[in-house]
Amino acid sequence: MELQYKIDKLNKEFEESKELNEMLIKINEEFGKENDRLYERINFYKNLQMPRSIKKSSKPKRKHQRNNDSEDSDDEIIDVDVEMDEKDEKDDKDEKDDKDARMEMKTILKTMPAKFDLDYDQTFMSKTNVDIRKQLIPELMKSLKPNFNPTYDKLTKWLMSLHKSRRSRNNYKKKGRLDSDDRHLHANGRMNDKKICRLKAAKALYDKDDVKIAHYEKQEMINIIQDIRYHSPELSETDEENASEKCQIVVYNRSWRSSELKTFFREVLDPYSFTQQNAQLTRHRNYDDTLQNFDVQPPNDALQWTCVEPGNGNVVYDSDIGYESIYDDYMYDDADTF
C-alpha cells in the first residue's frame, strides 16, 4: 500500500511537472514571437533611408539598459527612436548652417582686398596659396562671427572646393573652350545670389509675422521668389563717358513686372536681407526702369498682382540680356557652389 501511494504521488507530481513544462514552453514561444517582432522593428529602422550625415556618424548610444522582457524592450526601442529623431534634427540643422555659412563666405570673399585672392593659376597646395590661406582663413573666421563658427579645417575644405571649380574654369578659358567674355555667367550668378537672399529674407519675415509680408499668401510668395524669371538681371557695365571709372552694376527691369512686385522686392526684402549679411555689397546698383528695361512675356502662371496692366508697360529698349544664356542658372550653381 505504501509503495502504491508513493507511485501515485510521483505520477501526480510528474503530471504537474509536465503541465508546468508545457505552460513554460508556450510562454517561451510567446516571448520568441515577441522577440521576432522586435527584431523586425529594429531591422525596419536600420533600413530606413537616413541623411548622409547620420550614416557617417556613430550609432546613437542608448540612454537606458533594459531587461529582456517585452515591455522594457518596447521602452528601449522608443529610446532609440527618440535619440535618432534628435540626431536627425541636429544633423539637418548642421547641414543647413554649413550651406548658409558657405554662401556667406562666398559673399565675404567678394569684398576682400586683392591680397586675399587665391591664385587659380596654381594648385591649391602651392606655396603661394598656402601663404594666402594663412592670412585669409583667420579673416574669414572673424567676418563670419557671430552668426557662423566653422572650424579652420572646414574653411580650408570649402576653399579647396571653390578653388577646384574656379581653377578648372580658368583652365577651360585658357584653352579657348570658354568665352572670355563671361558677363552672362556673372549676370546669372548675381541674379541667383539675389534670389537666395530674398528667399531667406521672406522666410525670416514670415517667421516674425511681419506686417509688410503677412498679407501675402506664404507658399505663393515663396514660389514667386524661387522662380528666377521674377528677378531683374544685373550686368556689369562701364560708363562710356567715364571709361576710367570702376564698372557699376546696371539692373535691368523686366517690362511685365508690376510696381507692387518691384517695390516689395526692393523696399522690403532687399533692405532686410542687407541687415542680415555680414558682408555688404561694395558695387553700386544702378536702377532706371525707364531706360534699363527689356520686353519679355510674363510667366504663364504669373499672379495678376505681379504683372502690369495691359497697355501700361514701359518703353522697350534693346538689351543683350535674355531669359536664357549659355550659362544658365543651373550651370552657375555647379560652377561656384560646393
Interior angle at CA 150, CA 147 and CA 153, nearest 5: 165
CA 186 to chain CA centroid, nearest Å:
21
Same domain, 243 and 320: yes
Q: Are 62 and 42 in contact (CB under 8 A)?
A: no
Higher pLDDT, 280 or 168: 168
Q: How far is CA 21 from CA 10, 13, 55, 248, in A?
A: 16, 12, 46, 91
319: its cell numbers? 538689351
Amino acid letter, residue 78: I
Q: What gap in Å lies between CA 122 and CA 167, rounded to an integer? A: 8
In a domain, 243, yes or no: yes
Q: What is the mean pLDDT of residues 311-322?
A: 42
Pairwise CA distance, residues 229 & 254, whole Å: 9
- The answer to whether position 105 is within a domain reads no
Q: 178, 211, 231 — which closes off a domain?
A: 178
Residue 153 to residues 7, 46, 160, 216, 272, Cα–Cα distance (Å): 83, 31, 10, 43, 32
Of the pLDDT bands very low, low, confident and very high (cuts 50, 70, 90), residue 176 is: low
- Same domain? For 338 and 195 the reply is yes
Confidence of residue 224 (pLDDT cuts 50, 70, 90): very high
Same domain, 306 and 211: yes
**Closest C-alpha to 314, from 263, 267, 257:** 257
Instruction: Among 131, 157, 178, give the residue marking a domain's end.
Output: 178
Say which range, 202-206, 247-251, 312-316, has the weakest mean pLDDT.
Answer: 312-316
pLDDT at 338 over 70: no
| Distance of alpha carbon 198 from alpha carbon 226, whole angstroms | 9
* pLDDT on residue 276: 75
Query: Which tens digit of pLDDT belongs to each residue from 79-116?
Result: 555 565 565 566 666 777 888 888 888 888 888 888 99
Band of pLDDT at residue 71, cut at 50, 70 and 90: low
Query: Is 207 among the domain residues?
Result: yes
- The CA distances from residue 82 to 67, 78, 94, 95, in Å, are 19, 6, 18, 20
Whether the Cβ atoms of residue 187 and residue 235 lie closer than 8 Å to each other? yes
Grid cell locating 61: 548610444
* Chain centre to alpha carbon of residue 150: 16
Instruction: Evaluate whether residue 84 is within a structural domain.
Output: yes
pLDDT at 70: 52
Same domain for 301 and 203? yes
Q: Looking at the structure, do residues 187 and 311 belong to the same domain, yes or no?
A: yes
Whether the link from the prior residue into 138 is cis, omega within 30° of 0, is no
The total domain count for the chain is: 3
Mean pLDDT of 303-323: 58
pLDDT beyond 50 at 318: no
- Residues 239 and 116 grouped into a single domain: no
291 and 212 both lie in a single domain? yes
> Same domain for 152 and 56?
no
Question: 223 or 293: which carries more pLDDT confidence?
Answer: 223
Tell me: do 259 and 335 sit in the same domain: yes
97 in a structural domain: no
Q: pTM above the 0.85 mark? A: no
Whether 104 maps to a domain, the answer reads no
pLDDT number for residue 138: 93
> For 185-205, what is each residue's pLDDT tens digit?
566 677 788 888 899 899 999
Report whether pLDDT(334) > 50. no
- The arithmetic mean of pLDDT across residues 197-225, rounded, is 92
Please enumerate in sequence order all residues whose Cβ is within 8 A of that of 251, keeping only pairs 6 or more positions apart, or say none: 232, 233, 234, 285, 286, 287, 292
Are 145 and 278 contained in the same domain? no
Q: What pLDDT score does 114 carry?
A: 86
What is the domain range of residue 50?
2-91
pLDDT digits (tens, 9 = 90+) for 9-36: 788 888 888 877 777 887 877 777 777 7
At residue 134 the predicted structure's pLDDT band, cuts being 50, 70 and 90, is very high
Domain shared by 159 and 191, yes or no:
no
